[in-house]
Structure 1
Amino acid sequence: MNEKLDVVDKRHLRSIKTKQKLLEAAREVFLEEGFQKATISQMIKKAGIGYGTAYVHFEGKEEILMVLMDDVMGKFYEIAEVSFFPKTKVEAREIILSQATSFLKMAETERSMMQLFEQAMGISTSISTKWKAIREKFIHRISRDIEFAQARGLARAELNQKLVARGWFFTNEMYLWEIVRNEHQGTVEEIAETMTAVYTEGLYI
């Protein structure tokens, strides 16, 4: 029984390593070729794995890119997941400013991959749909923070938390893409400071 489990464990481990090799190779190919020109064959060759093995893990390059999107956007989501239990408006503003700054700096750090994602969104419906799902996850998280602030009497209770959350995320997203495209006017710190001031003054009491 233990021998059988050992064989299964080794196969599972080998499968994980193969998948990881393919993802790393895919990342390089995508960045070298762009989304449209990149092919599974190029990724398989770079990864040094069997052709059939690749299709055990992924149906095609879109599915591979979605996994890479999850990896990159997970870093952004860690910023959104920072504990948010402010006792005052000042404390809330400090947390929000820190999150906004980190979020936009991450756009600088991950510029190459984000450029790739934007390119893919313009070509692939499934990648575009994937981005919408990522967006909604962020909006839901922001909405919970606003709900907390409203319940504590720190934020204006009459405002629809979901609409406010959407507005805040879309502001962040607009600047994120400007940074990714190198079109931003002003430093990341200036942008974060400005949009946080407008947002918190409108929402917090």
Structure 2
Amino acid sequence: MTADSASINLTHHFLIAMPGLEDETFSKSVVYVCEHTERGALGLVINKVSDLSMRGLFEKVDLDLNRPDLIDAPVLQGGPVHTERGFVLHDAMLANPDPELTDEESALNAVSKHDAIYASTMRIPGGLEMTTSKDVLEALSAGHGPRRVLVSLGYSSWGEGQLESELAENSWLTVPADTAVIFETPVAQRYERAMGLLGLQSWMLSSQVGHA
């Protein structure tokens, strides 16, 4: 993959930080790219934890959390922009799901029908959504909501041409995203698992170029 801004689109890809990227926020990070257009890119770091658990976050917003599977899950540091705001990455949700469809089929249906059920949701090709409105937290509080959820404080963004420049400087490896790395892999293992999608391990990176 080249860094040609006329053709590159890394939406629903992982950015994997190369060893030379020593920025405090992005060193050894894996970023899930939610949107990438000619105007820039937006994503969430998926392997840096904050000092809050989901239980603590819900206490701060005066909600109970009736999802035992999420109570002890960490809230992540999604990036340096708007770190006071929550960003919820989750499976796509249908207002009226078809019970005969698999989760993956339902997610793709939600994207194609453009009928996300939360007030402020970005639909991401690949079957995920990112929601910034409180209603998704309220659904989780009631014991419902998306089956798979990642909550971060803050997000990461790049202006026009900025990400392409960083790719040209070999700051990042890129690979199509695997949602199992986001939702089903322990945070501490996500960097190695993301690199594994390229057949790499971290000790191999010093001599590798930054494109996949």
**TM-score normalised to structure 1 length:** 0.27
Larger Rg over CA atoms:
1
Which has more strand, going by share of residues? Answer: 2
Which has more helix, going by share of residues? Answer: 1
**TM-score normalised to structure 2 length:** 0.26
